[in-house]
A and B are shown apart, each in its own frame.
Chain A
Amino acid sequence: MIGTIPLSEVLIVSGALFCIGLCGALLRRNAIQIFLSIELMMNSANLAILGYGASLGTREGQIVVFFVIAIAAAEAAVGLAIFVALFRHTETIDVNRINLLKW
């Protein structure tokens, strides 16, 4: 299936997704939205790996992507837990207002 799509197109989609995610991560103020943007960037990377794997005719790409998805799930759990804890403390998840590390 994916093997029938040319690699260049897969990479274009992947790059576009990455840029959207990046913009979201940099411009959003809501921590959860930033988090989702980062997920988006990660999945764009997954897509790129799958594309390369298919074009090379190997299975390693798919194996690596499975690993990434599994670890991303764990990471999502930790990240969301941090946000909950943060919210309890500061009553906000606006990252502009969470700046205790300022000089």
Chain B
Amino acid sequence: MIALWVIPVIPLVGFALNGLLGTRLGKGFVSAVGVGSAGLATLAAYSRLIPYLSSGGGTPVIEPYGSWIVAGSLSIDLSFRLDPLSALMLSFVTFVGFLIHVYSVGYMHHDETDAGYARYFGYLNLFLFAMLVLVLAETFLLMFVGWEGVGLCSYLLVGYYYDREYAAAAGKKAFVVNRIGDFGFLLGMFGLFTTFGSLSYSEVFGKAAGNPALYQPALTLICLCLFVGAVGKSAQVPLYVWLPDAMAGPTPVSALIHAATMVTAGVYMVTRCNVLFRLAPEAMAVVAGIGAFTAIFAGTIAVAQNDIKKVLAYSTVSQLGYMFLACGVGAYVAGMFHVMTHAFFKACLFLGSGSVIHAMGGEQDMRKMGGLKSKLPITFWTFLVATLAIAGIPPLAGFFSKDAILAGAFEAGGLRILWAVGLFTAGLTAFYMFRLVSLTFFGRFRGTPDQEHHLHESPPSMTLPLIVLAILSVVGGWVGLPAVFGENANVFARFLAPVLPGLKGVEEHAALPHATEWALMAVSVLVAAAGLLLAWSWYARGEGRTPARIAAASPGVYALVADKFRIDELYGVLFVKPFYWLSRTLWKVVDVLLIDGVLNAGAFVVELTGDLLRFLQTGNVRNYALTFLLGLVALLLVVAGWI
């Protein structure tokens, strides 16, 4: 059996090879190393996962590789952990990552120089390494290393087309906004260390579960700090603004990093810390509130976007909100379930949109597409399957995970406002996704004749990953059937149960009666179907005349939504401008005026003194001799005591 550390190290080696030799050895070598290392990492991961799953997979396996940092009372081990949660993440991060590497070969082949191609695969491999470190880490600090690593790769890949200004700016924005979240994560870690004296999962969670009453007071603040980190990484309100801009990167990158894996790291982290969060009900309420608000907010924006990738980006933000809603109401299993199914169907959607953009010669505006159904049959069918999955149509994957979240929100009781928001968002999701499908694949073609002539289905390296992901979008949900299908139908929940230990003083929600659960399912299917049919009739058959009339009736509201509620502009006024002004003041006043001024004044005084004193240097040797004499006379007079 291979050690766990081998799994992330394989893509790291791939990164080194591609980075050092890729430019010289050409695209064939880069593809082989890039895809090969992702494939090997997947094989290595599954060679550990399969025995672990077949042995029941209850107890965590911790592999220590020696101590990493030892300083006073701080001692941090370098160790990896395989437990149900990391096994789950590992399974789809490696597999989806591998599929997207394969897809990238087809997507990036034509456009890029050898150097660009090597850089792309180098970064992609580095990303895989960082993501695997993130999910396998056994301590918060090691997780943070992976956390920062994926952030770095996200920056590098968003700004991949660095010669285009908007891409470079989007990369910077992603990095800066993520730093705000990372700062919260750091504060949370400081809090954990001062409270528990350790950063290892087993120790922290063990202590917290062992004596909840002792640690509870500190936990609310710690959990909120950690959640700030999750908000940044997983693009929640108010730090979601970087994700839509991150679509400036190549489409496979959007699929891998900004849909399937990295952005779910926040959900993973909150689920990982569920012991802490469940002991801090206020923090949980914040998580649920932010999640629900993000879900509906981003869903609303997605309705009015015309860029195919922007719709998917806001959809991702919205779905991530869904996952946090699940975590916030205590339905961690449902949250992780949605993380997994979302990885399948959203990766499929992004890759499908990449295939469309590829065929359209780089066009991303849906208003210039239409009627692509017959020209791109494989892309269309896989895209349709993934759309139905995200819309929550049974029996596709998204239905089960979304239903689990809605059931969790319903169970949580109260005014059921979270449930209502979730339900409405489900309808919105179905609507904007089917709007996207209708505009892109149905109706008549609205592009230029040149583009129409150029339309073609993508090569097999691109369509194969689409087919595999579409199949997973269908069957991926069947591991988590709701309880109405039998006590033990939910294999997924049973598998994850060891990660969610019972806690003293935290009561579990009672399971819903079967009749209620059936009713909830029926309602959510109805809402999804309604959204779907509405979008279909408005955009595919009506060619957008009805929505155009609605938009014309209230132009102010429509413009506000289409401009993404002008949140970027608001942040510009609230944060960027004042910060810019502050920086400029520090530069112009403090640096140039004060610091440089003091230095320059000193230099000026020295120069002035020199200017005056140099007149003593006449260059005439007899003057020097006279000075000599006068000095001597003065000295003699002093010695003689006359003056």
Binding site for B on A (CB under 8 A): 22, 25-27, 29, 34, 95-96, 98-103
Contact = CB atoms under 8 A, between A and B. Distances in A.
Given A22-B629, A26-B625, A26-B629, A96 B615 contact: no
Contact of A99 (B615, B619, B625, B626): B619
Please report whether the interface of chain A is mostly helix, strand, loop or mixed according to DSSP: loop
Contacts of B54: none
B618 interface: yes
Nearest to A29: B622
Given A99-B619, A102-B620, 6 more contacts: A25-B622, A25-B625, A34-B621, A95-B621, A101-B617, A102-B617
Nearest to B617: A103
Interface in B610-643: 614-615, 617-622, 625-626, 629
6 contacts: A22-B629, A25-B625, A26-B622, A26-B629, A99-B619, A102-B620
Nearest to A95: B621
A61 B158 CA distance: 94
Contacts of A99: 618-620
B378 to A, nearest CB: 87
A96 B620 CA distance: 6
Nearest to A98: B621
Contacts of B619: 98-103
B102 to A, nearest CB: 78
Nearest to A28: B622
A95 B619 CA distance: 9
Interface string B138-161: 000000000000000000000000
B621 A102 contact: no
A85 to B, nearest CB: 16
Contact of A102 (B618, B622, B625, B629): B618
Contacts of B621: 34, 95, 98
The 7 A-B pairs of least Cβ separation, nearest first, read A102-B619, A99-B619, A103-B614, A101-B619, A95-B621, A103-B617, A99-B620
B615 A103 contact: yes
Contacts of B625: 25-26
A22 B625 CA distance: 9
Nearest to B614: A103
A32 to B, nearest CB: 13
B346 to A, nearest CB: 78
Contacts of A27: 622
Contacts of A26: 622, 625-626, 629
A101 B617 CA distance: 7
B576 to A, nearest CB: 54
A102 B623 CA distance: 11
B620 to A, nearest CB: 5
Nearest to B618: A102
Interface in B63-79: none
In the complex, which of the residues A98, A100, A102 has the most CB atoms of chain B within 10 Å of its own CB atom? A102
Contacts of A103: 614-615, 617-619
In the complex, which of the residues A98, A102, A103 has the most CB atoms of chain B within 10 Å of its own CB atom? A103
A64 to B, nearest CB: 21
In the complex, which of the residues A27, A98, A101 has the most CB atoms of chain B within 10 Å of its own CB atom? A101
A53 B626 CA distance: 31
B623 to A, nearest CB: 9
Interface in B126-175: none
A29 B618 CA distance: 15
Contacts of B615: 103
B622 A95 contact: yes
A98 B620 CA distance: 7
B624 to A, nearest CB: 9
Nearest to A31: B621
Contacts of B620: 95-96, 99, 102
Contacts of B618: 99, 102-103
A96 B629 CA distance: 19
Nearest to B622: A26
A27 B623 CA distance: 10
A34 B618 CA distance: 18
Nearest to A22: B629
A95 B625 CA distance: 12
Contacts of A100: 619
A49 B625 CA distance: 24
A96 B617 CA distance: 13
A25 B632 CA distance: 15
A88 to B, nearest CB: 18
B492 to A, nearest CB: 90
Interface in B318-362: none
A94 B625 CA distance: 15
A89 to B, nearest CB: 15
In the complex, which of the residues B614, B619, B626 has the most CB atoms of chain A within 10 Å of its own CB atom? B619
B53 to A, nearest CB: 90
B326 to A, nearest CB: 83
A74 B209 CA distance: 98
A22 B621 CA distance: 14
Contacts of B614: 103
A101 B616 CA distance: 11
A34 B624 CA distance: 13
